[in-house]
Amino acid sequence: MTTPVAKRKILIIDDTPANIQVINQILQDHYRIYFAVSGSDGLNVAQRELPDLILLDIMMPEMDGYEVCAALKSNEATSRIPVIFITAITSIEDEARGLEAGAIDYITKPISPPVLKIRIKNHLELKHYSDKLMLLTKELTLKNQQLEVLARQDSLTGLANRRWFNEAMCDEVRRAQRSGETLSLLMVDLDCFKNYNDHYGHLAGDECLRLVGRTLLASFKRAGDLPVRYGGEEFVVILPNTKATQSLKLAENLRRKVAHLAIPHSCSEVASHVTCSVGVVTAQASESRSADWFTFHADKALYQAKDAGRNRVVS
Ligand code: GH3
Ligand code: MG
Ligand code: MG
Ligand code: MG
């Protein structure tokens, strides 16, 4: 046994009950019919029942069909319901005015039952496909947005990746150039991590990177701060509008937090647990102090931290 398909709803708005009766007789076997005998009543029923299609008379006292149609189209809930004018007015000007008001079709009386039926069927089909298309477009837009986020994220740690960093750093440098505020950049690198991988294996190495990533996320929460997985076991953090003393303090906190994760590292040359070194640069951005300039100097400071024995912050 097949489940019966719910009948589509059609609303007839006409101030002459006899007209409603005629149309109802033609359509009642195929559709669920609702009716209203005035424009304002019709708007209420449309809003409440959200019919699949509306058959609308033009000449009505108080509110005529054009006004009803305009009201339907300007209300978000009813704007996509197809409206067909059914009228005794046969002038070309009126037909044009009806279509301009947003109606999808214009049928003149006397009504031919087979023509009315087929036009309604065609319009409902068109509406069905246009609804489907709209839904698909919405889904695609959402998927695209999700893909865009994914493309800017590092899959292992969930942090921003290099691509996101490049965009964000350029934005921040430009902003800092305009505002005259200082901009800071931290470059963080795990110490003796090759040994860690060699000793504990790559999976353990990945888990360690995840933990450090989480620590970074938890440590830089101010709006605008951006922790990034720069590559391998290297991370950077963009700190907009941050002075030298503050960025040094943040870097030192991070270094301490990573050490406090207390991830055993028996092959480190520095300690018995995983540690990191941090290079810090703080400066006012200018024409010559581009994103690359900041990266170069943070990297240079990091190199000095490594050179001085690792597990430390250098600015
Ligand atoms: P240093 O203290 O001078 O930084 O020494 P290091 O051993 O950390 O530096 P090096 O650049 O020689 O090695 C980095 C290592 O990081 C190499 C590789 O084994 C490891 N690594 C890089 N990316 C990943 C990753 O995605 N997963 C894992 N598990 N290891 C990675
Ligand atoms: Mg009328
Ligand atoms: Mg390293
Ligand atoms: Mg490295």
Q: What is the pLDDT along the chain (315 residues), one digit of tens a residue?
A: 566 678 999 999 999 999 999 999 999 999 999 999 999 999 999 999 999 999 999 999 999 999 999 999 999 999 999 999 999 888 889 889 888 889 999 999 899 999 999 999 999 999 999 999 999 999 999 999 999 999 999 999 999 999 999 999 999 999 999 999 999 999 999 999 999 999 999 999 999 999 999 999 999 999 999 999 999 999 999 999 999 999 999 999 999 999 999 999 999 999 999 999 999 999 998 888 999 999 999 999 999 999 999 999 999
Reference 121, options 26, 49, 56; nearest CA is 26
Closest residue to atom 29 of ligand 1, CA basis: 205
Query: What per-residue confidence (pLDDT) applies to 288?
Result: 84
Name the residue at shortest CA distance from atom 2 of ligand 1: 191
193 alpha carbon – ligand 4 mean position (Å): 8
Q: Which ligand is nearest to the CA of 20?
A: 2
| Pocket residue to mutate for ligand 1, from 154, 194, 199, 258, most atoms within 8 A of Cβ | 194
Quick one: how many helices (H) and strands (E) in the chain? 10, 10
The residue whose CA has the least distance to atom 23 of ligand 1 is 232
Query: How far apart are the CA of 198 and the centre of ligand 1, in A?
Result: 10
Ligand 4: distance of its center to the CA of 183 in Å? 23
| Residue 207: active-site member | no
CA 75 vs CA 12, 34, 70, 80, 225: distances in Å: 18, 19, 9, 9, 42
**For the chain, how far is it from start to end, CA to CA, in angstroms?**
78
